[in-house]
Chain A
Amino acid sequence: MIADAQIEGRVWTFGDNVDTDAIVPGKYLVHDLPEIAKHVMEGIRPDLASRLERGDIIVGGNNFGTGSSREMAPRGLQAAGVSAVIAKSFARIFFRNCINVGLAPVECADSGLIEEGQRVLIDLAAGIVTIVDTGQKLEAMPLPYEVGEILTAGGMENYLAAKFTGAQS
């Protein structure tokens, strides 16, 4: 499952304080997820959504996902193909939303060393981000057990399904 998996993908880099209005502008919130996915990061990099490929990884600096609580920010990224978000630090609601929708948030103090276009390999259980191009290994914050459980289930809905209804939804 997700928390045990190795996630590998091509990197798109961003700076500090990437806000949720940049990830999914408020005007799109009235729409459904497939439409929202076409506009992710529009507020900061309008061409990104059309260039994203399945498995790509977003790398940011400090306070990634700051601003509103809109869960469509991580859901939109996920629907656009993004497999993980690596950042030096996360805005806490965005971090929780990632866990709840089953998108891996990886807190890595050295995220600034990762360059755009490089491939990285994330080992969530070990807390290691490897830059595939250079072989450099970066330390990542391992997820607390309670949190890993939810991510491993594939998000909160599956977690609830397994815990309370005995079935995976």
Chain B
Amino acid sequence: MGMTVTEKIIARAAHRDSVEPDEILWVDVDLAMMHDSSGPRRIWPALERLEMGIWDPDKIVLVCDHYVPANTIAAAEILQTTRKFADAFGIKRFHEADGIAHTLMVEKGYAQPGMMYLGSDSHTCTAGVMGCLALGVGSTDMLGIVTTGQTWLRVPHSIRVQVDGELSTGVTAKDLILTIIGDKGMDGGLYRVLEFGGPAIDAMSMQERSVLTNMCAEIGAKTGIIPSDGVTVKHLAALGVDAGEGPTSDSDAVYEQVWNYNATDVAPVVARPNRHDDVIPISSLGEPAVTRAYIGSCTGAKYEDLAMAASVLRGRHVAETVLLQIAPASREALQQAMDDGTAQVLMEAGAHFLSTGCGACPGIGAGILAAGEVSISTTNRNFRGRMGSPESSLYLGSPYSVAAAAVAGKIIDPREMMGDSP
């Protein structure tokens, strides 16, 4: 019987020829990631109590992204602890304010096809775009991983998400994944792996694909995965990494379910405040007014997201009633936007640039919301109070939709502002 890409990765990591869904196994970890919030501050005291060292500093990536730049002394101390940890344990792949961890794992080519990759953050699944098994855990799970290089897992059932057709102009991977989440609900993928494939996926860039795997967290899935293909190999080759082709699913692999979508049918959508699975086409929304627009997070502030926003904002200006803030997902994203003039377009349109990092998305960094404020954001979650006051309202949409709302002062179909320049 054939295996899915997920089963193949687990079998290799468990030193087995094959595995079956629901088995519980101990596996070897190829790559681990911690960040400033979930990492050293949480596990270092336990390491000292246990008098244990770490298994392999070269297999650990450590990123300061949640508390950068520090805006309280407590935050500064968290960053200081993280820095000291990197130094004490010889972790070379340490990044402070270089970008959001999930973005860096893809951008730097750390996550590679076929790897068993564990990170102590729920959006670790983003790296599934590299064709690896990218699993999010909590801090103490990470303690076990960094001391032993192993962890336990239950072999998940796989759901094949088959996406035919092609996305129309003005419609993005964000609209597609929100549509799927709206359909299936925030627990629609519970304990499952979502394996994406089909012509619409084949045609997508690495950055757009990563929006799909990133938001597998929002459908409750264990992770998402896109088996490596030419796009993956090309991305890694540009970084000077030759990781080979990586595993793919067998043609007779067994899927618990198949979800069929046609990208051609997808329209610009938003998730309404408080539930990211309350998804509605913008055309049916009734043009609610917004006071804030935010382009940020591992989901929606990569270079291509900035470029999408710029394509709407070129020659236009943010409404007087709206504050548009942009926190690029990485320095590289900002550099690229500076190199080709994208950043200039955004500045001229009235956008405010913030430092790279998780920023306002988890309600920790700069740019959060007051009671009564209404924002549309390119981020991934809108739980009540997620981005500030519990009395604020947060819509989630694509970079096009956020940019269009920033100009109009209300949420409109971004395609109204695309095509001809104003």
Contacts and interface: CB of A to CB of B under 8 A. Distances in A.
B38 A69 contact: yes
15 contacts: A26-B362, A30-B78, A63-B187, A67-B122, A69-B122, A69-B137, A70-B37, A89-B190, A91-B187, A92-B191, A145-B24, A146-B24, A157-B49, A160-B144, A165-B51
A76 interface: no
A25 B136 contact: no
Contacts of A169: 49-50
Interface stretch (A1-9, A14-22, A50-58, A78-86): A14-22
B253 interface: no
A135 interface: no
Contacts of A69: 38, 120-122, 124, 136-138
A155 interface: yes
Contacts of B385: 21-22, 25, 43
Nearest to A71: B138
Given A21-B384, A146-B152, A96 B138 contact: yes
Contacts of B222: 92
A93 B143 CA distance: 14
A165 B52 contact: yes
Interface in B360-388: 362-364, 381, 383-386
Interface of B: 24, 26, 37-38, 42, 46, 49-52, 67, 72, 74-75, 78, 120-122, 124, 136-141, 143-144, 147-148, 152, 154, 186-187, 190-191, 217, 220, 222, 275, 362-364, 381, 383-386, 390
B187 A100 contact: no
A97 interface: yes
Contact of B363 (A19, A27, A146): A27
Contacts of A19: 383
A88 to B, nearest CB: 10
Given A43-B384, A92-B191, 8 more contacts: A21-B384, A21-B385, A69-B38, A91-B220, A93-B138, A96-B141, A144-B24, A165-B50
B384 A17 contact: no
Interface string A88-128: 01011100110011000000000000000000000000000
B317 to A, nearest CB: 32
Contact of B186 (A25, A63, A101): A63
A30 B122 contact: no
A157 B46 CA distance: 7
A83 to B, nearest CB: 19
Nearest to B72: A30
A70 B38 contact: yes
Interface string A18-51: 0101100111011100000000000110000000
A63 B220 contact: yes
Contacts, number: 131
Contacts of A43: 383-385, 390
Given A69-B122, A164-B147, A63 B386 contact: no
Contacts of B187: 16-17, 62-63, 66, 89, 91
A144 B155 CA distance: 13
Interface of A: 16-17, 19, 21-22, 25-27, 29-31, 43-44, 62-63, 66-71, 89, 91-93, 96-97, 100-101, 144-147, 155-157, 159-161, 164-165, 169
Contacts of A26: 362-364, 386
A161 B46 CA distance: 10
Contact of A30 (B38, B75, B390): B75
Contacts of A25: 363, 385, 390
A25, A31, A101 — which one has the most chain B CB atoms within 10 A of its CB? A25
A93 B122 contact: yes
A93 B49 CA distance: 24
B52 A30 contact: no
Contact of A101 (B120, B122, B140): B140
Closest 5 CB pairs of A and B: A63-B187, A100-B140, A71-B138, A97-B138, A26-B363
A63 B122 CA distance: 14
Contacts of A155: 140
Contacts of B51: 165
B23 to A, nearest CB: 10
Nearest to A74: B138
Contacts of B383: 19, 21-22, 43, 67
Contacts of B49: 157, 161, 169
B143 A157 contact: yes
Among B42, B67, B147, B383, the one with the most A-chain Cβ atoms within 10 Å of its Cβ is: B383
Nearest to A145: B24
A38 B384 CA distance: 19
Given A66-B186, A67-B381, A71-B38, A160 B148 contact: yes
Contacts of B137: 69, 93, 96-97
A70 B148 CA distance: 22
A152 to B, nearest CB: 14
Contact of B52 (A63, A93, A164): A164
Contacts of A63: 186-187, 190, 220
